[in-house]
């Protein structure tokens, strides 16, 4: 199921909702394109470090949706003067969690590091259950 489309404000550049990324690289490419165009067309400042943060957050959200959420069911990227807003939806009702890097026996644990990265790099993070099932995670990364 896809998220319900939101109405678009003329002040916001958006990646078309019908292009669901199949891989994290597809999601990063969409974010890079929308952010670059949005910053250029409206003369917004976009620090290279901010772009890298936005791409890392995008990669983590897309990877988690693919690996743990049953696939990407919705994808949206908006750019405005407040930053870049990336939303990724998936089929899972499971909320993201941060795992300790080691288990109770002191052994290294794979995974569990992406969610803390998203929370650290994003200015705002929202997790919402979707009415048709699944969830949407939206992260806002400042561009300055």
1 located within any domain: no
In this prediction, residue 8 carries a pLDDT of: 41
pLDDT attached to residue 107: 78
Nearest-angstrom CA–CA distance, 34 and 9: 15
What's the structural domain count of the chain?
A: 1
- 7 lies in a domain? no
pLDDT at site 111: 67
36 burial type by CB count under 10 A (0-12 exposed, 13-18 middle, 19+ buried): middle
- Smallest CA-to-CA distance from 89 within 73, 110, 69 is with 73
Give residue 26's domain range.
13-102+110-141
Task: Specify if 78 maps to a domain.
Answer: yes
The CATH number covering residue 51 comes to 3.30.565.10
Q: Residue 6's pLDDT is what? A: 46
pLDDT averages per 10-residue partition of the chain, 144 residues: 44 56 96 92 88 97 94 94 93 84 74 86 96 96 91
- Dihedral sign computed on CA atoms, order 80, 83, 88, 92: negative
- Both tokens of 47, joined, read 């620090």
Q: What does the pLDDT read at residue 121?
A: 96
* Domain-embedded: residue 50: yes
Confidence (pLDDT) at 14 = 55
Q: What is the pTM of this model?
A: 0.81
Tell me whether residue 20 is in a domain: yes
Is the dihedral angle over the CA atoms 1, 6, 58, 95 positive or is it negative? negative
135 within a domain of the structure (yes/no): yes
Would you state the pLDDT for residue 42? 83
């Amino acid at each position: 199921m896809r998220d319900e489309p939101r109405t678009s404000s003329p002040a916001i550049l958006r990646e078309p909702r019908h292009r669901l990324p199949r891989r994290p690289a597809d999601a990063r490419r969409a974010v890079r394109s929308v952010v670059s165009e949005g910053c250029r067309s409206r003369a917004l400042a976009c620090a290279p470090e901010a772009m890298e943060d936005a791409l890392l957050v995008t990669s983590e959200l897309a990877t988690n949706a693919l690996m743990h959420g049953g696939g990407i069911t919705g994808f949206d990227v908006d750019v405005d003067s407040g930053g870049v807003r990336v939303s990724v939806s998936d089929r899972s009702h499971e909320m993201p969690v941060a795992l300790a890097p080691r288990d109770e026996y002191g052994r290294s644990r794979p995974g569990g590091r992406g969610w803390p990265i998203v929370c650290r790099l994003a200015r705002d993070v929202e997790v919402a259950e979707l009415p048709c099932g699944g969830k949407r995670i939206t992260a806002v990364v400042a561009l300055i």
